[in-house]
Structure 1
Amino acid sequence: MMTNLFSVFDPTSSFLSNWLSMSIPLLFMATTFWMVPSRPQFLTKKILNDLNREMSLLMGSASLGANILMIALFMFILFNNFIGLFPYIFTATSHLAVTLSLAVPLWLSFIMYTWISETLNALAHLVPLGTPIPLMPFMVLIEIISNLIRPITLSVRLAANMIAGHLLLTLLGNQGDMGNIYITTAVILSQIILLILEFSVAVIQSYVFMTLMTLYASE
């Protein structure tokens, strides 16, 4: 029995709802060694090629290593978003401990690299072109705050979107009246529509996280 509505997001609340769900992608790695690729592999390869092409446009030609990192980040978030839609499996990306662990190290590495190797450009980036001299101190403060909150906004956006959909599914599931066929049918149809929307949100949030992190790196 749940002690509260948010206990569904506790990784220790049940047997399968734990951090081990993040290791499930390892079970699918063996399919990459098949002699004849399957249709899902063809689809995955096409998606990866399209993402690589888009990342190259955003980051330039000398971005092979960064492309691999960003695409791996996208696939990791996407798989955890999808696997969390199955019953009794914990959605790791709905926990700030996971989203912050993904956003903060990457953001911090970008900041450190910029300030160490491109110090003058980093200082110039704090003052937008054409800013009046009296407003320059305020613009520097605003740019610093904007840079500092980037990993927080990335993490909270991903976690909040995953939590919101799961909470709606949980609330709808508790509203069914088994004695009324019309109410039960309406609840089931609403859950099916919301589940389809959650699949879309899983893809969109993975893509948004990857794209924003790529834009931060390209700056």
Structure 2
Amino acid sequence: MMTNLFSIFDPSTNIFNMSINWLSTTLGIMFIPMMFWFIPNRYMYMWNLIFNKLHLEFKILLNQDKMKGYTFLFITLFCLVLFNNFLGLFPHIFTSTSHMIMTLSLSLPMWLSFMLFGWINNSQNMFSHLIPQGTPPILMPFMVLIETISNIIRPGTLAIRLTANMIAGHLLMNLLGSTGTKMSNYLMIILIFTQFLLLTLELAVSIIQSYVIAILSTLYSSEVN
């Protein structure tokens, strides 16, 4: 019996006192059959279609003349987050994207690399982003402060957005599921139908949040080029 509703997110699975929960981040490889790499098939066609659509969208935001192939970084980020969000919907599989240690480990190094690249190579462009065009002179110090703070908190907002959305749906499904033993047969049918709808919603959320973190990372990257 759970002592706390949030205990469903506790990394408690271990073998010989060694935590194996974070191995779930590599389980996405199991969904890619070996034939995917060798012969053309429908599975490969589907992923190529998704990659091409993402490449075209990210290419619009990035300057591909200077940094060709830069979009594959964000396509890889999309796939990593999507696999982890999707695997978290299966029973008894640790949802790594519901922990800040995972989401912050993705967003913070990426944001730091963008900042270092921008300030070293495009310092003038980075300074221009601190003061929006048309800002009155009297408001310039305040705009610099506001823009600096909003820039600093970007990795935190990326991490918290993904974590909060993963936690919210899992908590609701667990809360409804824990009341099933106290319901009658008629209410149990309604509960199962509701859980199925929530599971479908969470599947959509896992895809949307993967796209959101990838597109926001692309937008942040486009500012330093």
Between the aligned residues of both structures, percent identity stands at: 50
* Residue identity matched to 1:81: N
Where 2:89 maps in the other structure, the secondary structure is coil
Unaligned runs of 5+ in 2: none
The aligned residue for residue 10 of structure 1 is 10
TM-score by length of 1: 0.94
Aligned residues: 218
- Residue in structure 1 matching 2:162, options 153, 158, 163: 158
Q: CA, structure 1 residues 167+179, in 2 after alignment: closer, same or farther (shift >3 Å)?
A: closer
Q: Is the 8 A contact 1:17 1:89 kept in 2?
A: no
Q: Match of 1:44?
A: 47
Residue deviations 1:96-151, cap 9 Å, x none? 00100000011111111111111112112111111111111000000000000101
Contact 1:94 1:158 in 2 (8 A): yes
Call closer, same or farther: CA 1:45–1:168 in 2, change over 3 Å. Answer: same
**Structure 1, unpaired ranges of 5+:** none
Please state if 1:124 is matched with 2:128. yes
The 2-side partners of 1:143 and 1:66 are apart by: 26
Q: Distance in 2 between matches of 1:117 and 1:167?
A: 45
Q: Distance in 2 between matches of 1:154 and 1:65?
A: 23
* 2:197 match: secondary structure: helix
Query: Out of 72, 77, 84, which is 2:76 matched to?
Result: 72
In the alignment, residue 113 of structure 2 is paired with which amino acid?
Answer: S
What residue identity is the alignment partner of 1:54?
E
Cα distance in structure 1, aligned partners of 2:56 and 2:188: 46
Change over 3 Å in CA distance of 1:14–1:77 after alignment to 2: same
Q: Is the 8 A contact 1:7 1:13 kept in 2?
A: no
Q: Is the 8 A contact 2:28 2:87 kept in 1?
A: no
Q: 4+ runs of 1 displaced by more than 6 Å?
A: 14-17
- Contact in 1 for aligned 2:107/2:159 (Cα 8 Å): yes
* Cα pair distance change 1:72/1:179, threshold 3 Å: closer
Is 1:209 equivalent to 2:213 in the alignment?
yes
Q: Distance in 2 between matches of 1:192 and 1:25?
A: 23
Query: Offset at 1:191?
Result: 0.3
1:58 to 51, 57, 61: 61
Report the residue type matching 1:94 in the other structure.
S
